Amino acid sequence: MQSPIAEPPALQAGTLRVTPVGGLGEIGRNMTVFEYEGKLLIVDCGVLFPEENQPGVDLILPDFSIVRDRLQDVVGIVLTHGHEDHIGAVPYLLKLREDIPLIGSALTLALVEAKLKEHRITPYTFDVTEGQVENLGPFECEFVAVNHSIPDALAVAIKTPAGVVLHTGDFKMDQLPLDDRLTDLRAFARLGEAGVDLFLVDSTNADVPGFTPLERDIGPVLESIIERAPRRVIVASFSSHVHRVQQVLDAAHAHGRRVALLGRSMVRNMTIAADLGYLRVPEGVLVDFKKAGDIPDDKIVYMSTGSQGEPMAVLSRMANLEHQIEVGEGDTVILASSLIPGNENAVYRVINGLTKLGANVIHKGNAKVHVSGHAAAGELLYCYNILKPKNVLPVHGEYRHLVANQKLAIETGVPAANTFIAEDGTVIDLKNGVATVVGQHDLGYVYVDGSTVGEITDADLKDRRILGEEGFISIIVVVEAQTGRIVVGPEIHAKGFAEDERVFDAVKPKISAALTEAAQNGVREPYALQQVVRRTVGRWVNTSYRRRPMIVPLVIEA
């Protein structure tokens, strides 16, 4: 049900306005804007990674249009945790106003600062910890510990006289977490007893029945693989998964192996995590990559990036023999990561490549080497029952995830009318415990491509898809302005269509004849003549080849 676009009414005094800007209908570019008494609070500002129908795009940003003209009203950006889909768009927003305060945990801020440094931005940051309460303009924010696949994640309760909102950020409820930092259900209970008027809750795994297995179950699997590995071990994971890296360090240490970190983001993030005390590096276990080659094969573990088959990351380069480390017979490669939908072909290409080189490749499909960072349906039920929110807005998910999460809310007793399936740009007003959809902004995708932001449009992507599927044929004809007589051409060039350009000899006389006829009928205008060429070539290629390449005619007057 695509909501009709409707400008929301002016915000009434004493009302809280909640507008999800990104993350609804997609997994990525999470961003929510809260407005109260003329001030704006932003929660998260992440990027979305493109799908195969968005060719060439590097990143997709949230559409900042609803804050662009009100940047001075923004009291801060709360960052719930340090994943790209929550912090990746911060540099692009700060380019619009550099001194917007960033609020988050120590690790989250360290990661976003490292990212901003690459954009040559020094942000104004304010670090908080669980249990802390801070006033950001008219918003009283209480930060609550949550457990996720990166340390130091926070939920945030946002209190105004209009009501209390709890935003989980990304979370799961591992009951025996590796760092003993539980999702704080006592705080959820206390907030729930006091009354939560609107609950924004992570939907990623809402359609997965049951419970996410314990992180603790992964360590022994990794350890047993590393123990039995005859030669080198290469482990690939997300470069921010501190706990997974911790497990690898511990397993390597226990079996007398040293660990070399590979990949720029892995080295950067783990250096930050170790400096801040989130990663406990056993004495002497780390070794610089440059010196790792001197260590016997059965005494080394490489910890690398590339678990999603990213073509430029370490693991893909290894699979293509484009990396210094030449994987061979007896090596063990572990993909200790989830397989994000859409990446399957790329990941399987890497697995096939490494297997072909002789490696034993272990992944989620054949061993328990990863668990998800998001709460499954069973956990969400606990959450709803402890919190008993008045209204629920499922966030962080594709449409199917949002609907699955809504169903869980309803099953625990939230009235269906108080649950909202919203889209990016849906405007919800909250007052006296009543939440109401009051409007819908028309927000688009903002594409980052090379150094351009927002210049590539959906029309360009459509052109790219046609070009990518079918190639193009360009036809150049130079005509005499007065007579329409052909002076040069038709010259025909094609790419992605056929190797042998002699195939076009068949259509050249047709083009000349069509142009001559048009000229005889008094058609002189180059655009009109181009249309004649387009039709002639289009008909020919469609009839002869059953193909629809892009046809690019150019008639120039000389």
Residue 457 binds a second copy (CB under 8 A): yes
Q: What is the smallest separation between the CB atom of 475 and a second copy, expressed in angstroms? A: 11
Residue 501 binds a second copy (CB under 8 A): no
Is 374 marked active-site? yes
The residue within the footprint of a second copy, chosen from 117, 450, 509, 535 (CB under 8 A), is 450
Instruction: Spot the catalytic one: 63, 174, 184, 202.
Output: 202
The residue within the footprint of a second copy, chosen from 68, 264, 400, 485 (CB under 8 A), is 400
User: Exposed (0-12), middle (13-18) or buried (19+): which is 12, by Cβ within 10 Å?
Assistant: exposed
- Choose one: 16-24, 81-89, 294-302, 456-464; the region binding a second copy (CB under 8 A): 456-464
Interface positions, 358-387, toward a second copy (CB under 8 A): 358, 361, 365-366
Interface positions, 303-362, toward a second copy (CB under 8 A): 341-342, 344-345, 348, 351-353, 355-358, 361
Residue 56 to residue 467: CA distance in whole angstroms: 12
Interface positions, 78-97, toward a second copy (CB under 8 A): none
User: Exposed (0-12), middle (13-18) or buried (19+): which is 467, by Cβ within 10 Å?
Assistant: middle
Nearer to a second copy, 53 or 432 (CB): 53
Longest dimension (CA), the chain: 88
Nearer to a second copy, 13 or 487 (CB): 487
Query: What is the dihedral sign for C-alpha 375, 376, 377, 382?
Result: negative
The residue within the footprint of a second copy, chosen from 37, 127, 297, 491 (CB under 8 A), is 491
Nearer to a second copy, 171 or 497 (CB): 497
Nearer to a second copy, 47 or 292 (CB): 47
Interface positions, 47-76, toward a second copy (CB under 8 A): 51-53, 55-56
* Site size with a second copy, rule: CB under 8 A: 73
Residue 392 to residue 192: CA distance in whole angstroms: 13
Residue 269: CB atoms within 10 Å: 27
Nearer to a second copy, 51 or 193 (CB): 51
Is 119 marked active-site? no
Residue 456 binds a second copy (CB under 8 A): yes
Q: List b or e across 144-178, with b for residues whose CB sees 16 or more CB atoms inside 10 angstroms.
A: bbbbbbbbbbbbbbbbbebbbbbbbbbbbbbeebb
- SS3 category, 158: strand
- Choose one: 82-90, 97-105, 289-297, 465-473; the region binding a second copy (CB under 8 A): 465-473
Binding residues for substrate, as ranges, are 239-241, 370-374
- Choose one: 103-111, 132-140, 248-256, 541-549; the region binding a second copy (CB under 8 A): 541-549
Binding residues for Zn(2+), as ranges, are 81, 83, 85-86, 148, 170, 396
β-strand 163-167 against 153-160: which pairing, if any?
antiparallel
The residue within the footprint of a second copy, chosen from 190, 464, 508, 534 (CB under 8 A), is 464
Q: List all residues 6 or more positions away from 374 whose beta carbon is below 8 Å from its beta carbon.
A: 148, 170, 171, 172, 202, 204, 205, 212
Q: What is the smallest separation between the CB atom of 210 and a second copy, expressed in angstroms? A: 11
Q: List b or e across 353-383, with b for residues whose CB sees 16 or more CB atoms inside 10 angstroms.
A: bbeebebbbbbbeebebbbbbbbbbbbbbbb
The answer to whether residues 27 and 396 touch, using CB atoms and an 8 Å cutoff, is yes
The position carrying tokens 């990027």 is: 47
Residue 461 binds a second copy (CB under 8 A): yes
Nearer to a second copy, 97 or 548 (CB): 548
Helices 377-387 and 399-411, packing angle to 10 deg? 50
- Choose one: 12-20, 139-147, 186-194, 443-451; the region binding a second copy (CB under 8 A): 443-451
Residue 119 binds a second copy (CB under 8 A): no
The residue within the footprint of a second copy, chosen from 415, 468, 517, 525 (CB under 8 A), is 468
Nearer to a second copy, 163 or 549 (CB): 549
DSSP state of 69: T
Q: What is the smallest separation between the CB atom of 465 and a second copy, expressed in angstroms? A: 7
Residue 535 binds a second copy (CB under 8 A): no
Residue 293 binds a second copy (CB under 8 A): no
- Choose one: 30-38, 65-73, 433-441, 491-499; the region binding a second copy (CB under 8 A): 491-499
Q: List all residues 6 or more positions away from 208 whose beta carbon is below 8 Å from its beta carbon.
A: 372, 376, 377
The answer to whether residues 417 and 392 touch, using CB atoms and an 8 Å cutoff, is no
Interface positions, 226-265, toward a second copy (CB under 8 A): none
The residue within the footprint of a second copy, chosen from 442, 455, 501, 517 (CB under 8 A), is 455
The residue within the footprint of a second copy, chosen from 5, 488, 513, 528 (CB under 8 A), is 488
Residues 213, 216, 219: CA angle, nearest 5 degrees: 120
Supply 503's token pair.
């195939």
The residue within the footprint of a second copy, chosen from 113, 223, 297, 460 (CB under 8 A), is 460
Residues 513, 518, 523: CA angle, nearest 5 degrees: 155
- Choose one: 182-190, 219-227, 252-260, 462-470; the region binding a second copy (CB under 8 A): 462-470
Residue 224 binds a second copy (CB under 8 A): no
Tell which residue, 63, 5, 19, 57, has the closest CA to residue 445. 63
What is the DSSP secondary-structure string of 477-545? EEE-TTT--EEEEEEEEEESS-S-GGGGGGTHHHHHHHHHHHHHTT---HHHHHHHHHHHHHHHHHHHH
User: Exposed (0-12), middle (13-18) or buried (19+): which is 43, by Cβ within 10 Å?
Assistant: buried
Q: What is the smallest separation between the CB atom of 67 and a second copy, expressed in angstroms? A: 24
Residues that are catalytic: 202, 374
